Amino acid sequence: MEMSALAERHCCKSGVLPKSIFRRLALALCLLFFLGLTQAEELQSLSALEQAVSDYLEALQEEGIYRTQIRVTPLDSRLRLAACQMQPELFIPSGRRPVGNTVVGVRCAAPVPWTVYVQANVALMQRVLVAARPLPRGAILSESDVVLEEQDVSRQSLDVLQDIKHIKGLILKRSVASGMILHTGLLQAQASIRRGEKVTILGQLAGIDVRMEGVALVDGAKGEVIRVRNLSSGREVEAVVVAPGVVQVRL
């Protein structure tokens, strides 16, 4: 600005340029200088950041188990970040998982440090068994009750079922809606012992196999622990159902 003022006084005194024209020229030069600085400032490509986040999330997934679908929420186009002079660091914030609705942090150290958080959704698509229609609690499942569909299983915490052979004859613990994914927590085996039924209690005492008569106090399926009463002693004990009409205890 001091040089412009000196040039203005010099030119006006020498009669080279009228004062008004000189001011316009000085203003134009200032605008050109400002535009030059703006163009020289390099900005980080937001689309490149979004692609980096997508690639990062893809690399975190297990190969061959799922078909991954990744959707990255576009960054605000008004965001202005200085172009990173090195490879930005990508990370998953503490407490987050790289599946479902998630967030990825992107950090740059130079020339101007900045950190942004990018929202994304990672769907893990897998062919699983789903209910073909609404099914009530206690329903004994058959092939007509389920269909095999590709579904997002990223929110499933229990083992999902993929083979019709794994559900035939099992009982629903609770009602399910049409299209609901079937998992191990929803199903149980049919009772192989009924409440009030006489059972054989197996045990070992000092290395000798012992067989006693008892009565089941609750229903039980194979592998479940149920309460039974020893008919000889009258004591109630817990035993594992090992076969229809047979339970095993530790004596």
| Domains within the chain, CATH numbers bracketed | 2-40 (no CATH), 46-124 (no CATH), 125-188 (3.90.1210.10), 198-248 (2.30.30.760)
pTM above 0.85, yes or no: no
Query: Which of these, 96, 1, 106, 6, lies nearest to 51 by C-alpha position?
Result: 106
Supply 232's token pair. Answer: 């000889």
Instruction: Give the SS3 label for residue 201.
Output: strand
The answer, yes or no, to whether residue 34 has pLDDT greater than 60, is no
111 prior amide bond cis, ω within 30: yes
The pairs formed by 96-101 with CB atoms below 8 angstroms and a separation of 24 or more are 98/57, 98/60, 98/61, 98/122, 99/61, 99/124, 99/154, 100/154, 100/155
Task: List pLDDT tens digits, range 78-133.
Answer: 999 999 999 999 999 998 999 999 999 999 999 999 999 999 999 999 999 999 99
Q: How far apart are CA 199 and CA 93, in angstroms?
A: 55
Predicted confidence band of residue 18 (pLDDT cuts 50, 70, 90):
low
pLDDT score, position 41:
59
